[in-house]
Amino acid sequence: MSHTITVQGQDIAVECDEGETVLDAMERAGFAIPYSCRKGVCASCEGGLCAGEAQVRGQGHLTGPEQGVKLCQARPLTDIEIAPARIRRVDPVARKVLEGKVRKIENPAEDVAVIHLRFPNGRRAPFRAGQYLRVILPDGDSRNFSMANPPQKNDGLELHIRHVPGGKFSEAVLSGLAPKDVLEVELPYGEFTLTEADTPALLIATGTGFAPIASIIENQVRSGSARPLHLYWGGNTAGDLYKRVEMEALAARHEWFTFTPVVSGDDPHWNGRRGLVHDAALQDYPDMGGMEVYACGAPVMIEAAQRDFCAKAGLDPEMFFSDAFVPSGDAEALSA
């Protein structure tokens, strides 16, 4: 049995198969709504259930009207009407599952590995700057990682992975990974991509949340766009900003790009900006009207940035885009 999903205030009706999530049904029909983790942990996909009934993992059996519904986990039990935060028509998602051979592993920071993968000759994986992939583990579970390379270089991948003590991927895969090993990946996923606007954009990152933003910046370099971008990258120590020298050099070459590194911890060797990374952006831009913000990394930073930018700097809530780095395994997602 299928159910019909309609969108409040829009002439949109999508058939949803039994057991299918709202997010999957909308993607299959060629509509993009916000999401990030697809595990029901972050809040990126939250929207309204205006009418009808749905079973939502982590939220139970809901009957509209309800707000804050995780549409990535919502499975309709009847015809339903929804109110996503945003919706736009796109080409239906065409994902690929590919095997990537490890070409090189770098360790720019003590707890960060940069993994370079290469696909077999003739195989490519188109994606948009800012999107992510799933590494498929032998037991069928998966982990999400953003592509740090620009989409023009889609014959391989660059992944920035932080070692998490006790983490399933960190301990079982990353610790023993070596050149010529193979990872199975599925891509692309995600809507954390720049809009086509030409207004100034603030890019806010913590830790390896820098990875998708690196792809966005490099894509702009290669495309020849001159949209003003200002990156604020925060870490506990200067060592956490593992590509700081490269970003400083990029800012020196391009007038449209500004880079502000921020350290929050007690690093005696750091002479630059200190404090919370979103506070630094707020100090520099007390009026964010007409701007867009793209925040990626720790959920606590994203929540604080969205709250303070909208309340204190007049940012339009619809101009705040985020990708929260949360536990991506099913077990961790459910416990979170």
Cα–Cα nearest to 8, from 29, 30, 33, 28: 33
Q: What is the mean pLDDT of residues 132-161?
A: 94
| Residue 50 reports pLDDT greater than 60 | yes
Could you give the CA distance from residue 95 to residue 11 in angstroms, rounded to a whole number?
27
Could you give the CA distance from residue 114 to residue 174 in angstroms, rounded to a whole number?
11
Does residue 65 have a cis peptide bond before it, meaning omega lies within 30 degrees of 0? yes
Please report where in the chains the tokens 């070409």 appear, as a residue: 103
Share of the chain above pLDDT 70, in %: 97
What was the pLDDT predicted at 328?
Answer: 57
**Confidence band (pLDDT; 50, 70, 90) for 335?**
very low
Contacts of 216 (CB under 8 A, 6+ apart): 129, 130, 193, 194, 203, 229, 294
Q: What tokens were used for 80?
A: 């339903």
Please report where in the chains the tokens 């998966």 appear, as a residue: 142
The dihedral sign for the CA sequence 277, 283, 289, 291: negative
- In this prediction the pTM is 0.86
| Residue 159 reports pLDDT greater than 70 | yes
**Confidence band (pLDDT; 50, 70, 90) for 334?**
very low
Share of the chain above pLDDT 90, in %: 83
Give me the domains of the chain, ranges plus CATH numbers.
3-89 (3.10.20.30), 96-191 (2.40.30.10), 201-324 (3.40.50.80)
Q: What tokens were used for 110?
A: 């003590």
Cα–Cα nearest to 275, from 235, 303, 331: 235
Using only the alpha carbons of the chain, give its radius of gyration.
20
Q: What tokens were used for 275?
A: 């404090």
In contact, 145 and 133? CB cutoff 8 Å: yes
